[in-house]
Structure 1
């Protein structure tokens, strides 16, 4: 398990975030879980809990940074700044980030790949909705034509290939066409994306075991990623079952955000109605909170450097 609170000089050979992610999704019979994280607190807790990959949802990033619904309000800067924070808390835990529709035309998309690479992102998904997109589990989605879709993937590859020194950032094709056209049409778009250079497929709002198994078979050797949203369109399959079916990555975008929303609502209601601290009963004092945020590691750095800022403890 990675530690969020202890400083450990890293003596292992450097492995890029992209290579770490590729190694994890190449394991036979294993589906890796990636919880949704949208800020430093979420990321620290996910690291503390030992998750090997974390996922930055566009919907939750938009909610956390802008306080708005997932309707294409967030910019590349919003996404990339958030990603840079999360990806660099523990570079040994790869971050998969949402890239919406790429933030513009092919040159913009190529730049997005470069910015994500510089931010430390291990992989990202780009979708086939029109620019004025919305959450994949909402109604009213519209997808672009096939040639526009192909150009988006090609632009991702061009952007990756033009990075000085090379890049192995993972390009993930997100398909919303299933909800608008058909399952077969979505698979056809996946095949095109694979031929244009995509590394992984993400069939949004897939609904049955048969569809998942067939997608794994049709798109092999390209790995498949599945999205789980509570009360969404995709049934909640156990991760062990997904691994046996050949799915390589399972993401849970709203796992933290929905729970946090309810907890904050209860805490503020308690404060307003009783004047008491709802969190007091949880037993987490300020020191316990800061330990999860990496306090011990900072104290150790200060000691090793000869500092005296924490000579009396923290």
Structure 2
């Protein structure tokens, strides 16, 4: 997997190489990032792919739930900041419904590509959408979504850009309808198929079996969501090529900030949270500035002095 991806010229080509190698090497793991710092942490941890979560982007930018409140420009700006700090690591970005009809989808694809996105996820919900693991979802017609997928594929400036087609029809019309939709989106040109929020392992097995062969399958390991948390060996056995872990980093950050604030409110200082120099529970100041690239910046400053 690494050899194939390392030989690719662009992040989009790297993503395609990783997906092509997944049947032999196991699924590509894509932890979620909600901003540039969390994306940098994912890349620095050695993951081969980063996923920009719409849920986390909404929460971090405006402190609101994922119910379709952000537009294409806000999402693309976040993607641009993320892509800028992760180098050649491919970025898959949530593009919600494409923010309108097929023509809007084409513009969204162009905007996301210019932002540095390697893979673009589009879903078949009505606008405004909502998180795939919330209730009350509605979907557009299969024909309309297939048209959006065709528009997305034709709008690509880079033929390696990966178009991910997500259907939310399990919640609205059942697994069989979701499978029919996934097949239609595959025929429309989708590079990866994503059946969102199955609620039982039997349904996951049915989805994997019905869509096996050819087009890579995505599994959304939504932390605390409606889908059973299968093990990675089981997901590999079922044939999934890409696994998203969309909001774990967001939840971890929330827990960490809450803990720090509780300490500060209780003690009046963060000393207990910082710990001793030998047992720091938070990153040290120098460690953090190194994480965000201060040494490299100082080297550049020295060259120009």
What residue is the counterpart of 2:278 in the other structure? none
Q: Is the 8 A contact 2:209 2:238 kept in 1?
A: no
Alpha-carbon distance in structure 1 between the residues aligned to 2:61 and 2:282? 29
Change (3 A) 1:14 1:20: closer
Q: Does 1:172 align with 2:164?
A: yes
Alpha-carbon distance in structure 1 between the residues aligned to 2:199 and 2:218? 14
Q: Deviations over 1:257-285 (max 9, x none)?
A: 11111211221222122111154121522
Query: Could you list the runs of 4 or more consecutive aligned residues of structure 1 that deviate by over 4 angstroms after TM superposition?
Result: none
Kindly report which structure 2 residues correspond to 1:7-86, keeping only aligned pairs within 5 A, or say none. 15-27=9-21, 28-29=23-24, 30-86=26-82
Cα drift, residue 78 of structure 1? 1.0
Unpaired runs of 5+ residues, structure 1, are 1-11, 309-314
RMSD: 1.8
Alpha-carbon distance in structure 1 between the residues aligned to 2:269 and 2:99? 45
Q: Structure 2 residue aligned with 1:150, among 142, 146, 149?
A: 146
Greater RCO, CA 8 A, separation 6+ = 1
Q: TM-score, normalised by structure 1?
A: 0.88
Unpaired runs of 5+ residues, structure 2, are 1-5, 276-280
Q: Is the 8 A contact 2:83 2:117 kept in 1?
A: yes
What residue is the counterpart of 1:126 in the other structure? 122
SS for the counterpart of 2:99 is coil
What residue is the counterpart of 1:214 in the other structure? 206
Cα drift, residue 43 of structure 1? 1.1
The range that moved more, 236-245 or 20-29, is 236-245
**Number of residue pairs the alignment of both structures matches:** 292
What residue is the counterpart of 1:183 in the other structure? 175
Q: Is the 8 A contact 2:39 2:86 kept in 1?
A: no
Q: TM-score, normalised by structure 2?
A: 0.90
SS for the counterpart of 1:26 is helix
SS for the counterpart of 1:25 is helix
